[in-house]
C-alpha cells in the first residue's frame, strides 16, 4: 500500500484525481493513527467501519466521472457537542452518556452534502465548560507535544486530533476561547467565526449568546474552505446571517492597520516570552510598512468577570432541560419525591465544574442579585461592543496573545478555578463582542511548547481575517 500523507485539501484532491491516493487509503491511515495514539484520549467514539464504507463509495463515484464535492473524502472529526444522527452524543457528560442523537446538526448536513467523511466524535470538557479538557467524563485529553501537559479546552480533543494527525480537520465550539486556546496550546490554527456566521442548530448549548462552532486545521486555505461549506443560511437558527459566506481567495500582500491593547501586553499575568515575541513581530510588521499601534483598552479587567456572570447565567437556563425525565442519566434509586428525583439525577449526572457554573448562574439570576450582577455584566458587554466598533473605524486588525501562558501541566490549576478562569483573559473578548478571531501558530517557547497569536477583525469580516492570517503565516 502507498504511504498516505496529507498536506492540504487542494493537494489531497489533486492526488485523488490523479489516482495516486484514495479515500480508503486516507481513512485507513487515520484509523491506524487513532489506534496507535489511544493514550491521547482525543476521541469519545470512532466510526471506523462507517468511514471506510463512505470512503469506498466515494472512490467508486470518482471512477464514474462524477464531480467531486468541495470536501470530497476529507476526513473530519467533530466535537462531542455536535449532533450526528444515529450516533452517540454525550457532551462528555455522564448525564448523556447513553444518548443517541435523533438528528444532524446543520454543519453536519452541510459537510456530508459536500462528501466529507466523519471519522468520530472528539473528547471535550463536559458541556464545553473548561480550559484544560480535564473535566470530561471520559478522562483527560493529553497534549501530543508533551503528554504531561493539558491540550487546552474545552475543545481539547478536537485540537489534539489535528495536532496528532488523526484527521485532516476538526470542528469544535468556542464560547470563550474553546477553539483558539487549545489551538494555541497544540500549535495549530483555530478559527472562531463571527457569532451568527455558522448555524448553532444541533450544537448542545452552553451559553446561547456566546456559543459558536469553530474550525481546527493546519492551513488557512483548508480552514477557509471548511468555513465556506458550513457557514450561511439555516432556517433552524434565527441568529444566522442569511447571506452566503464570502468565497475564499488569496490577495496580493497588503498593508494593514493593526492595533493591540497596551493593557493586554503589559498585564502581569502574561508570560514574558510571549510578550516579547508578539512585540518583536509587531516591530517586524512596522518595518514591512504596516501600521501597528498600542491603544488603551481600560475595560480589559472587566471582561472575564462579565463573561463568567453572563455565560453561567445562560448555562443555568440551558442545562435545566437535563433532568433525567425525558432522556439521559436517571438515578437507580426508586420511590423518590419529584424534587429529590431531580436533585439526584443532576447531582450524580453532572460533573463538578458544570455544577459550579450552574450554581453560579442561578445565583446571579436570583431576585436579590440580578441587577447587581447580571444587569451590570450586560452593561459592561455593551460598553465593550461600542468600544470595539470605534476601534475598527481606525484599524483593520486587533492582535492579542491567545493565552497568557503556554500549556500548563495536568492538574496544575485543577484546585484553583479562579486561576483557570483568568487563563481566558484574552479570548473571551471576541465572544463578548461577537467578532471573529483566529489563533495563528507562530512561535515556540524555550520550555518546548508552541504558542500563537490571536488576530480579530470586525463582525462578518472573516475574509479579511483569513487573508491577513495567510499573509502572516507565509513569513
b/e burial code for range 268-303 (CB count within 10 A of at least 16 → b): eebbebbbebbeebbeebeeeebebeeeebebbebb
In a domain, 133, yes or no: yes
What are the CA-CA distances from residue 455 to residues 198, 252, 363, 388, 436 (Å)? Answer: 19, 19, 34, 14, 8
pLDDT of 97 higher than 90: no
In a domain, 299, yes or no: no
In a domain, 295, yes or no: no
The pLDDT of residue 232? 93
Average pLDDT over residues 271-298: 97
pLDDT of 1 higher than 70: no
For 241-255, 286-300, 318-332, which range has the lowest pLDDT when averaged over its residues?
Answer: 241-255
In a domain, 37, yes or no: yes
**Cβ neighbourhood burial of 52 (10 Å; 0-12, 13-18, 19+):** middle
In a domain, 246, yes or no: no
Average pLDDT over residues 349-367: 96
Percentage, residues of the chain above pLDDT 90: 92
| Residue 381: pLDDT band with limits 50, 70, 90 | very high
Grid cell locating 74: 476529507
Q: pTM to 2 decimals?
A: 0.97
The pLDDT of residue 332? 92
Could you give the CA distance from residue 223 to residue 6 in angstroms, rounded to a whole number? Answer: 14
| Residue 240: pLDDT band with limits 50, 70, 90 | very high
Grid cell locating 345: 439525577
The pLDDT of residue 248? 86
Q: Which of the 8 DSSP states describes residue 217?
A: E
Average pLDDT over residues 379-387: 98
The pLDDT of residue 419? 85
Average pLDDT over residues 282-301: 97
Question: In this predicted model, what pLDDT tens digit does every residue of 419-435 receive, in sequence order?
Answer: 888 889 999 999 999 99
In a domain, 473, yes or no: no
pLDDT of 144 higher than 90: yes
The pLDDT of residue 393? 98
In a domain, 286, yes or no: no
Question: Which residue numbers are catalytic?
Answer: 79, 154, 178
Strands (E), 344-447: 397-401, 437-444
How many structural domains is the chain composed of? 1
Question: In this predicted model, what pLDDT tens digit does every residue of 197-236 receive, in sequence order?
Answer: 999 999 999 999 999 999 999 999 999 999 999 999 899 9
| Strand-pair category, 437-444 with 450-456 | antiparallel
Grid cell locating 298: 481600560
Average pLDDT over residues 229-250: 89
Could you give the CA distance from residue 373 to residue 58 in angstroms, rounded to a whole number? Answer: 54
Q: What is the mean pLDDT of the chain?
A: 96
In a domain, 17, yes or no: yes
pLDDT of 239 higher than 70: yes
CB 127 within 8 A of CB 206: yes
Q: CATH number, domain at 124?
A: 3.90.1300.10
Residues spanned by the domain of 179: 9-230
The pLDDT of residue 465? 97
Amino acid at each position: 500500500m502507498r504511504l498516505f500523507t496529507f498536506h492540504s485539501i487542494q493537494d489531497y484532491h489533486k492526488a485523488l484525481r490523479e489516482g495516486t491516493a484514495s479515500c480508503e487509503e486516507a481513512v485507513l491511515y487515520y484509523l491506524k493513527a487513532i489506534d496507535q495514539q489511544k493514550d491521547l484520549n482525543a476521541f469519545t467514539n470512532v466510526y471506523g467501519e462507517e468511514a471506510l464504507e463512505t470512503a469506498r463509495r466515494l472512490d467508486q463515484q470518482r471512477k464514474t466521472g462524477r464531480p467531486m464535492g468541495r470536501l470530497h473524502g476529507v476526513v473530519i472529526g467533530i466535537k462531542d457537542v455536535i449532533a450526528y444522527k444515529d450516533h452517540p452524543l454525550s457532551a462528555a457528560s455522564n448525564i448523556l452518556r447513553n444518548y443517541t442523537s435523533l438528528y444532524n446538526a446543520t454543519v453536519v448536513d452541510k459537510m456530508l452534502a459536500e462528501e466529507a467523511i466523519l471519522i468520530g466524535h472528539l473528547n471535550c470538557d463536559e458541556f464545553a465548560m473548561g480550559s484544560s479538557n480535564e473535566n470530561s467524563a471520559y478522562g483527560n485529553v493529553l497534549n501530543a507535544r508533551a503528554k504531561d501537559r493539558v491540550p487546552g479546552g474545552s475543545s481539547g480533543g478536537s485540537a489534539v486530533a489535528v495536532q496528532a494527525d488523526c484527521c485532516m480537520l476538526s470542528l469544535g465550539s468556542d464560547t470563550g476561547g474553546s477553539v483558539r486556546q487549545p489551538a494555541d496550546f497544540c500549535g495549530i490554527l483555530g478559527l472562531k467565526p463571527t457569532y451568527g456566521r455558522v448555524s448553532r442548530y444541533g450544537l448542545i448549548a452552553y451559553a446561547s449568546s456566546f456559543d459558536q462552532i469553530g474550525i481546527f486545521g493546519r492551513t488557512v486555505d483548508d480552514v477557509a474552505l471548511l468555513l465556506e461549506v458550513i457557514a450561511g443560511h439555516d432556517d433552524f437558527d434565527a441568529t444566522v446571517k442569511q447571506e452566503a459566506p464570502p468565497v475564499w481567495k488569496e490577495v496580493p500582500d497588503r498593508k494593514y492597520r493593526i492595533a493591540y491593547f497596551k493593557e493586554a501586553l503589559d498585564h502581569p499575568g502574561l508570560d514574558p516570552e510571549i510578550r516579547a515575541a508578539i512585540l518583536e513581530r509587531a516591530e517586524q510588521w512596522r518595518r514591512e510598512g504596516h501600521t501597528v499601534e498600542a491603544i488603551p483598552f481600560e475595560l480589559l479587567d472587566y471582561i472575564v468577570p462579565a463573561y463568567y456572570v453572563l455565560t453561567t447565567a445562560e448555562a443555568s437556563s440551558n442545562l435545566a432541560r437535563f433532568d433525567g425525565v425525558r432522556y439521559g442519566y436517571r438515578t437507580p434509586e426508586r420511590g423518590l419525591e419529584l424534587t429529590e428525583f431531580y436533585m439526584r439525577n443532576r447531582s450524580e449526572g453532572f460533573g463538578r465544574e458544570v455544577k459550579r457554573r450552574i450554581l453560579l448562574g442561578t445565583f446571579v439570576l436570583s431576585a436579590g442579585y440580578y441587577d447587581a450582577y447580571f444587569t451590570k455584566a450586560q452593561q459592561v458587554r455593551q460598553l465593550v461592543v461600542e468600544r470595539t466598533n470605534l476601534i475598527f473605524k481606525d484599524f483593520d486588525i486587533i492582535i492579542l496573545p491567545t493565552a497568557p501562558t503556554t500549556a500548563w501541566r495536568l492538574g496544575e490549576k485543577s484546585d484553583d478555578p479562579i486561576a483557570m478562569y483568568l487563563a481566558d483573559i484574552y479570548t473571551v473578548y471576541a465572544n463578548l463582542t461577537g467578532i471573529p478571531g483566529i489563533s495563528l501558530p507562530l512561535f515556540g517557547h524555550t520550555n518546548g511548547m508552541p504558542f500563537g497569536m490571536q488576530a480579530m477583525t470586525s463582525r462578518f469580516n472573516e475574509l479579511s481575517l483569513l487573508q491577513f492570517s495567510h499573509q502572516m503565516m507565509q513569513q
